[in-house]
Amino acid sequence: MAAPRSRRAGGLDQPLDRSRSLRPSVDSERFGRLSERVARGIGSWAFIMWMTIAIVIWLAINLAMVEGAPDPFPFIFLTLLLSLQASYAAPLILLAQNRQTDRDRVQFAEDRARTERLLADNEYIARELAALRIALGDVATRDYVRGELRDLAGDLRELLEEESAEEVPPSTPPDAGSADSQ
């Protein structure tokens, strides 16, 4: 059974990466996701509520204890803790905003490309429609054909009436005796 490989990227058969330095390498994607979670948490009403409750409890404990309070009246330690929290929160919030700005920039570029494709498609369809309209200008429409057929039918009726008028001999008066016998 083979032993599971260690998490190291290279083995003994791989040369060492010479670009290593004393600076620690940071996975910017993982750190960015963490900064977004922290910024989302700090920017919530729940955080404000819990922070307010913690500060009120801190103040109550230190004001209630007359002798031996851990943080007497000027509350220097509380100020230090709040300053420390703010000094870490501000850069994390800025990192989260930068990541959001980058995502917005990518989304804007994709939207612009999609809009350009849609405009090109619309222009193509408009050109095709114009070409079809021009081509249909030479094609007989249903109304045109009906009108022409009506005119031809009228002309045929007139011709038939003229021919029938020429073929019929002049009419003879009807027999008076044959009408009475019926």
pLDDT tens digits, residue range 90-128? 999 999 999 999 999 999 999 999 999 999 999 999 999
- Name the packing angle between helices 76-136 and 45-64 (round to 10°): 170
Asked if the structure places residue 150 within a domain, the reply is: no
pTM value?
Answer: 0.52
Residue pair 92/35 in contact (Cβ under 8 Å)? The answer is yes
pLDDT of residue 138: 73
Under-50 pLDDT residues of the chain:
182
Q: How many CB atoms lie within 10 A of CB 35?
A: 20
Q: Which domain holds residue 88?
A: 29-127
Asked if the structure places residue 182 within a domain, the reply is: no
Q: How many domains does the chain have?
A: 1
Asked if the structure places residue 174 within a domain, the reply is: no
pLDDT of residue 137: 76
pLDDT of residue 96: 92
